[in-house]
Amino acid sequence: MNLQETFTKRFKQARKAKNLTQEKLGVMIGLDGFVASSRINRYEKGVHLPDLTTLNNIATALEVPPAYFFADDELAQMILAYKKS
């Protein structure tokens, strides 16, 4: 799995774990309500990748470290466990 695929998988998992719609997450990170859902959808599908500031805002809103989005399955679980401790 490449980094972009890993990012899209983790991003969608983290959003759903917080029970957030794409629009709600987009608004939480400062996007205009008219584009929030479509922008988040494009990130989840890998059409676009967020810049570093947006990535940090997403990570903060989803309460995960930015590294989580790029980690393989085992490392992602370790990151989440460390974050909880």
Is 4 in a helix, a strand, or coil? Answer: helix
Is the pTM value of this prediction over 0.75? yes
- The model's pLDDT over 38-50, given as tens digits with 9 standing for 90+, comes to 999 999 999 999 9
pLDDT digits (tens, 9 = 90+) for 25-79: 999 999 999 999 999 999 999 999 999 999 999 999 999 999 999 999 899 999 9
Helix axes 52-62, 3-17, angle to 10 degrees: 30
Domain boundary assignment for the chain = 3-84
For domain 3-84, which CATH number applies: 1.10.260.40, 3.30.1330.10, 1.10.275.30, 3.60.20.10?
1.10.260.40
The residue among 15, 24, 3 whose CA lies nearest residue 63 is: 15
